[in-house]
Amino acid sequence: MLEFFASNYALNLLILICIYVILSVSLNLIIGYSGMLNLGHAAFFGIGAYASALLALAGYPYWICFIAAVFFAGLGGAMIAYPSLKLRGDYLAIATLGFGEIARAVMKNWVSLTRGPLGLPGIPKISFFGLTLTTKFQFFIFALIIAILVVLFVSKIVKSPFGRVLRAIREDEIAAQAIGKNIKKYKVIVVITGAACAGIAGSLFAHHITFIDPTTFTLMETILIVCMVVLGGVASIRGSVIGATILVLLPEPLRFLGLPTSMAAALRVMIYAALLILLMIYKPNGIFGEWRFRHAKSKEAL
Amino acid sequence: MKNYMILMSILLITILVVGCAPTEMQPAGEETKEPIKIGFIGPLTGDVAPYGEGWRDGALLAVEEINTAGGINGRMLELVPEDGLCKPKDATNAAQKLIEIDKVQAIVGGFCSSETLAVAPIAEEAKVVLMSPGSTNADITESGDYIFRACPSDALQGEIMAIYMYDEGYREVAIMYANSDYNLGLRNVFSKKFTELGGEIVVEQNYEQDAKDMRTQITKIKDAAPEALYLVPYPADGTIILVQMKELDVDLPVFAPESMCVDKVLVDSGEAAEGMVVSTPTFDEAAPKTAEFLQKFNDRFGYKPELTSYSANAYDVVYLFADAMKQGHITGTEIKDYLYTVTDYTGAGGKLTIDENGDAIKELILMRVENGEFVDLE
Amino acid sequence: MLKVKKLYKHFGGVKAVDGCSFEVEKGAIVALIGPNGAGKTTVFNLITGFIEPDKGKVLLYNKDITGMAPYRISKEGVSRTFQIIRLFPKMTVLENMMLSMQNVYENFWLSMLPLKQKKLHEAKMVNDALELLKFVDLEGKKNALAGNLSYGQQKLLEMAKALASEPELLLLDEPASGVNPTMLKKITNLLKELKKKGKTILFVEHNMDFVMKIADKVVVMDGGEEIAEGPPKKIQKNKRVLDAYLGKVIKIKRRKKK
Amino acid sequence: MGIAAQLIINGIIAGGIYALVALGYTMVYGILRFINFAHGEVFMLGAYLGWVFNILLGVNVIVAGVLAMLGCAVAGFVIDKIAYKPLRGRGMLPPLITAIGISLFLQALAILIFGAQIRTFRTGEVVRGITIPFIDAIITKIQIVIIIVSVALMVALHFYIKYTKTGKAMRAVADNYEVASIVGINPNKVISYVFIIGSALAAAGGILVGMEQNLTPTMGVSIGIKSFTAAVVGGIGNIYGAVLGGFMIGLIENIGIWFIPSGYKDAIAFAVLLFFLLFKPTGIFGVKKGEEVSV
């Protein structure tokens, strides 16, 4: 069995799990703990990936690429900070969805910078202080450490007094303002932090797959991350980690069901979608969920 | 905080074991009578599925034929198709699975250049041959020794058409292309060559690959009144453009790469394709092997593949793999060395020679559409 | 301490507040009464910055706080309760209390660092919170979720919460409404206690004998403007106040019989 | 003059389709405050059903259209009953994820049943468009049909909403879900009607696009997002807003790419969306829906 874990196939999945854990935990910080329904997470994932890849291809050492990924993704977060303050619930979801699509259109059409649909091949391996991550196993260890750090960072935020205020804002913005909390400042910080973490995941993704193009950072990618958060349980860090793990692994066993070749791919998507629907009907709060995302401030959920 | 960390890692590992448990271990087993597996990576769902399906069935047809004819020295051949979705993440997942679990030594695919470019380093590292029947992106040429392709790099196609159009006396030309890797690649090469020759690109329009309404782009081209149009679409959107051009009374001489050298385009666009000049590797559907392939394809699957030349290429790639294996070259490295020796292989996709960095040299010919049929030009 | 000068607020045609002015002296308990729709709650929202006044000034210790953001007014030492109770239902009673307290460690970076003073401060806050909860005898409920308390208990919690930030001025929006008599007595005693501690309170209320018992001064509003101001006794006899509440006495001319 | 007129005609044709599909989004959102992400796939299903009846079974195109609309109406009804009904009142996220699950499911189903090949209604020879006199823009017969049919359906919907009993019930439930149920309107029945009508209209849009262009399993995705944007721009929850929003997005898109690189065509629709959301979140016709501070 151990030989299986060393195989690149398993390591590839483990690395993807680390990347998607970072994405789902950071999105949960925005959706679960601060009540801001953000459907633009893949855009920050993409900005981080492109920033890191472009600088790496230009020969910069990895730690500069990493910081650039975090910085530019955070900058992206700052851009949607304004709508995040002004809009609530569905409207915020729609606005961030729009932002995500515009970001992807820029990635696809700003050919001089991103080579557009041709993408960026040959992204160099990660190396810092003379150590180069050549094998997939080394990369996995690096990704695991980063993932654990991000999860600790986010759970620290959530358990700290800062996090307590976040949950208060999620519960009732009016009451939070009345007791002297500057909700604008808190929301902006959360949106930028969440986006910056997505940038980290972007950097890891770029150097792992070594080729990125706009087709990866679509609305469906954000939806996948939202599903991980909802499946795992809104406002539960453990939930997001488990949600990410399940949804990365879910399609894999379907490959081995020996479906008739002509229908295999389509059937796989159908089974995946059916499982998603059933999970939502029978476990709408997600596995660890304890907070249900209600409509703006109407007392009962509609 | 400490116990939380332990809990989290234990959970992570247990989910992993559960998630991957059902994978049966498949030893390579040269001697045993197990079938030899070859992989296939291509877009079977998502936007590019209409073409992926035809390419997979082309490869499937070849595998079935080889097996009916006795397989590889008695051992059956098995195609393991995986869905690449034209996306790097899914293509790498598929490649890792094929290489690690199915222990394939050769893979047919990827189709979209994004798939091939993502899988290339993995295949190179695992010393597994990756031969793409359809990725024309120029970057693939230097992407590795184990990386081949059965279609010419777009460098050739773009240049030939630029030269031809220049010689025909066109100086002010428009380009219209779908906003994806194959099309942008060809557009770059074409415009570089055409401007080098002294021509001028007066207007350029692109569109999302799944777009249906290109009327405004066509109106913009009509407004710039170019002498000719170099159109770089996929067959589906190409058909719509030809139709909409006719509807909008825009009769410009149209030039296109092999993606338009497809019978279905002629049928679906009515007479709108009349007079179109297409550059394509020697793939005339009348050639014996090609016609036979199309006939067998239709008998077996009951439809005509969208991008016929690429389905034929997939068919040829499987046969090339089979020829190598028949001569005892089983491992990826052996197949690789054999492939470099392939010259003037006449397959369903026309005559093919593989050059030193794994690209296919195929003579490119020009054809024109005359009363609903592709006819050879000079 | 609190001066409200010529406040105007019109929602479209509705003149919710139409030139209202009154004053709340330090240490005084002032009741703001008037028929429904007189603009009482709107004045509350104008003072606490949730709604911007069209015209007029709100001064706290002669500092102009008109139109400041609600959280900054709260920081100036003004805390309030709401007509419809606004607690954090999914958070514990203790958390609700601690959220209202001044806590420098709620800053993003400070809250992350494992500082000793932070732990001390956290512990101190818990003590202060428990003390206040004892004051409103909700101490036993400290770990219960605020949403699970009874209506009366939530009223008390909301008041305790407002007190937690040691405000200069306490604004209570109908503290006595919808509470059973025993709870009403508790609230009355609570206010008396606060009066002894010299707290300044402005509250909106309909329950007249509660107002008469508690208030030092009464401000009466009708139709968006204040029509009378003074000690409760005097206000009871004020003609304009009676008209506002009981409606105008209209002489009906009898037509002479033919 | 010709070019400008042509752009406007292009905009109106595209707008007609967006409006038809936007109506489905707006009606469902008006009542359930829920974005039915699977609506785009119902549009695709309509196109394929129309193709099956018309091309495979040789039924006349109008009858095929009606049959397809009925088929999609049933599909919409079934989707609501199976997937959305159990999640009523479960907050916003679970229904959102379920809708996405259904849209993926339908796309894969389409690939399985109809195969991934590109289909088209077009059989006859492509004929040159008719030049509209004195503004010399070109429009084809099918495009004229598209505009007429889409406007006709919208007018029909207007009368249905205004004058029929269920129409009034729909408006009541949209206005206030609880009060409507107290007054004796069965909200579930009304919700089913909304899904039936919304899906039928989307099917009509699907057939019209299918006739004019071609069919692929993923055709519903981009049209879905655009029409949804139109519904929001017009004022989510308001029927007339959806129609206006549809034509607006169609026009802005087509006129927009005259000035900026055409690769940004989709991005224009989203830029308009962001503009409206930030400065006029209720859209053009929308009514303020309890969003402000109810202190």
- Cβ–Cβ of B247/D14 closer than 8 Å? no
The chain A residue lying nearest B82, using CA atoms, is A265
What is the Cα–Cα distance from A179 to A224, expressed in whole angstroms?
37
Nearest CB to A156 within list C95, C98, C112: C112
What is the Cα–Cα distance from B339 to B351, expressed in whole angstroms?
14
Average pLDDT over residues A279-293: 73
What residues in B contact A8, CB-CB < 8 Å?
96, 99-100, 122, 126
Q: Which of B281-295, B342-356, C82-96, C238-252 has the lowest mean pLDDT?
A: C238-252
- Cβ–Cβ of D258/B220 closer than 8 Å? yes
Q: Residue B40: which pLDDT band, with cuts at 50, 70 and 90?
A: very high
- Residues B289, B143, single domain; the answer is yes
How far apart are the CA of C249 and the nearest CA of chain A, in angstroms?
42
The enclosing domain of B166 has a CATH number of 3.40.50.2300
Q: Which helix (H) or strand (E) holds D174?
A: helix D165-175
What residues in D contact C41, CB-CB < 8 Å?
295
Whether residue B362 lies within 8 A of chain A, CB to CB, comes out as no
Q: Residue A258: which pLDDT band, with cuts at 50, 70 and 90?
A: low
The chain C residue lying nearest A182, using CA atoms, is C71
- Cβ–Cβ of A171/C89 closer than 8 Å? yes
Output the CA angle A228-A229-A235, nearest 5 degrees: 160
pLDDT digits (tens, 9 = 90+) for C59-93: 888 888 888 888 888 888 888 888 888 899 889 99
CB B80 within 8 A of CB B95: no
Q: Which of residues 141-160 of B touch A (CB under 8 A)?
A: 143
* pLDDT recorded at residue A299: 35
What is the Cα–Cα distance from A147 to D294, expressed in whole angstroms?
41
pLDDT digits (tens, 9 = 90+) for B13-32: 544 444 444 444 444 444 55
Other CB atoms within 10 Å distance of the CB of residue C232:
17
What is the Cα–Cα distance from C28 to D237, expressed in whole angstroms?
51
What is the Cα–Cα distance from C216 to C233, expressed in whole angstroms?
10
What is the value of ipTM here, to two decimals? 0.84
Domain limits of chain A?
A: 2-215
How far apart are the CA of D253 and the nearest CA of chain B, in angstroms?
9
The chain B residue lying nearest A17, using CA atoms, is B12
Nearest CB to B96 within list A8, A109, A266: A8
* DSSP reduced 3-state for D248: helix
The chain A residue lying nearest C87, using CA atoms, is A175
Whether residue B89 lies within 8 A of chain A, CB to CB, comes out as yes
Whether residue D92 lies within 8 A of chain A, CB to CB, comes out as yes
Other CB atoms within 10 Å distance of the CB of residue D286:
21
Q: Which of residues 167-196 of B touch A (CB under 8 A)?
A: 179-181, 183-185
pTM beyond 0.90, yes or no: no
**Maximal C-alpha separation, chain D:** 65
pLDDT digits (tens, 9 = 90+) for B190-222: 999 999 999 999 999 989 887 888 888 998 898
The chain A residue lying nearest C51, using CA atoms, is A174
- How many contacts (CB atoms, under 8 Å) link C and D? 7
What residues in A contact B16, CB-CB < 8 Å?
5, 10, 13-14, 17, 245, 249
How far apart are the CA of A64 and the nearest CA of chain B, in angstroms?
24
* DSSP reduced 3-state for C155: helix
CB A199 within 8 A of CB A55: no
Using CB atoms, list chains with 3+ pairs below 8 Å to chain A.
B, C, D
What residues in B contact A111, CB-CB < 8 Å?
184
Nearest CB to D91 within list A108, A272, A294: A294
- Residues B103, B162, single domain; the answer is no
The radius of gyration of chain C's CA atoms, rounded to the nearest angstrom, is 21
Average pLDDT over residues D79-87: 87
The structure tokens listed for A283 are 């476990």
- Residues B181, B264, single domain; the answer is yes
B18 part of a folded domain: no
Using CB atoms, list chains with 3+ pairs below 8 Å to chain B.
A, D
How far apart are the CA of B348 and the nearest CA of chain A, in angstroms?
22
Average pLDDT over residues B56-62: 90
* DSSP reduced 3-state for B222: helix
Domains of chain D: 2-122+140-292 (1.10.3470)
Strands (E) located in B99-149:
106-109, 129-132, 147-149
What is the Cα–Cα distance from C137 to D260, expressed in whole angstroms?
68
- Cβ–Cβ of B87/A216 closer than 8 Å? yes
pLDDT digits (tens, 9 = 90+) for A18-36: 999 999 999 999 998 888 8
* pLDDT recorded at residue A43: 95
- How many contacts (CB atoms, under 8 Å) link A and B? 140
Question: What is the span of the domain harbouring residue B352?
Answer: 36-153+285-362
Quote the number of domains for chain B. 2
The chain A residue lying nearest C90, using CA atoms, is A171
B4 part of a folded domain: no
- Residues B299, B251, single domain; the answer is no
pLDDT digits (tens, 9 = 90+) for B302-339: 887 877 888 888 998 999 899 888 888 888 888 888 88
pLDDT digits (tens, 9 = 90+) for B233-265: 988 888 889 888 888 888 889 999 888 888 778
The chain D residue lying nearest B44, using CA atoms, is D116
Domain limits of chain C?
A: 1-77+167-258, 89-166
Residue C195, classified by CB atoms within 10 Å of its CB into exposed (0-12), middle (13-18) or buried (19+), is middle
How far apart are the CA of A169 and the nearest CA of chain C, in angstroms?
9
CB C238 within 8 A of CB C253: no
What residues in B contact A7, CB-CB < 8 Å?
100-101
- Cβ–Cβ of B22/A253 closer than 8 Å? yes
- Residues B225, B370, single domain; the answer is yes
CB B59 within 8 A of CB B37: no
Nearest CB to B213 within list D14, D108, D218: D14
What residues in B contact D10, CB-CB < 8 Å?
213, 215-216, 219
Q: Which CATH superfamily is domain C1-77+167-258 in?
A: P-loop containing nucleotide triphosphate hydrolases (3.40.50.300)
Interface of A with C (CB under 8 A): 156-157, 160-165, 167-168, 171-172, 174-183, 189, 291
Q: Name every residue whose Cβ is closer than 8 Å to that of residue B266 and which is 6 or more positions away in sequence.
A: B273, B369, B372, B373, B374
A6 or A227: which carries more pLDDT confidence? A227
A5 or B123: which carries more pLDDT confidence? B123
What residues in D contact A234, CB-CB < 8 Å?
93
* pLDDT recorded at residue A14: 93
Other CB atoms within 10 Å distance of the CB of residue A149:
12
B94 part of a folded domain: yes
